[in-house]
Amino acid sequence: QVQLKETGPGLVQPTQTLSITCTVSGFSLTSYYMQWVRQTPGKGLEWMGFIRSGGSTEYNSEFKSRLSISRDTSKNQVFLKMNSLKTEDTGVYYCARDLNYGFDYWGQGVMVTVSS
């Protein structure tokens, strides 16, 4: 069955870099776009960006200068890296599979706290 699971650091210091891994099973990354969405107390659900089935990426311009999405298809993993973290980046980060019409499977999310 389709499963997605995010793993990440939990606590990150301001100005540092956030790295999250999304490990998937039950489908191939070469067949679906993969999305990153976060949920913060200040802005609610925010679309961050995606990686296409072919490997190219698109980012929300709000994050574009500090966000990178990549993948390792051999390990069934998608990666999010975001630098220059601020306290406002505190929230839950989700990866999700893109049905092309909505995001049909989501990971359980990883809580990230940005604090010194």
Partner 1 sequence: DTVLTQSPALAVSPGERVSISCRASEGVNSYMHWYQQKPGQQPKLLIYKASNLASGVPARFSGSGSGTDFTLTIDPVEADDTATYFCQQSWNDPYTFGAGTKLELK
Mark residue 44 as left, alpha or beta (left: phi above 0; alpha: psi -120 to 50; beta: remaining). left
Nearer to partner 1, 10 or 102 (CB): 102
Nearest to 59 by CA among 37, 40, 43, 44: 37
- Per CB under 8 A, 36 contacts partner 1: no
In terms of Cβ atoms closer than 10 Å to its own Cβ (0-12, 13-18, 19+), residue 29 is buried
Q: Least separation, in Å, of the C-beta of 30 and partner 1?
A: 21
- Per CB under 8 A, 11 contacts partner 1: no
One residue of 62, 72, 83, 113 binding partner 1 per CB under 8 A: 62
- Per CB under 8 A, 101 contacts partner 1: yes
- Per CB under 8 A, 99 contacts partner 1: yes
How far apart (Å, rounded) are the C-alpha atoms in residues 12 and 20?
11
Could you tell me the sign of the dihedral formed by the alpha carbons of 69, 72, 76, 77, in that order? negative
- Per CB under 8 A, 94 contacts partner 1: yes
List contacts with partner 1 (CB under 8 A). 37, 44-47, 58, 60-62, 94, 99, 101-104, 106-109
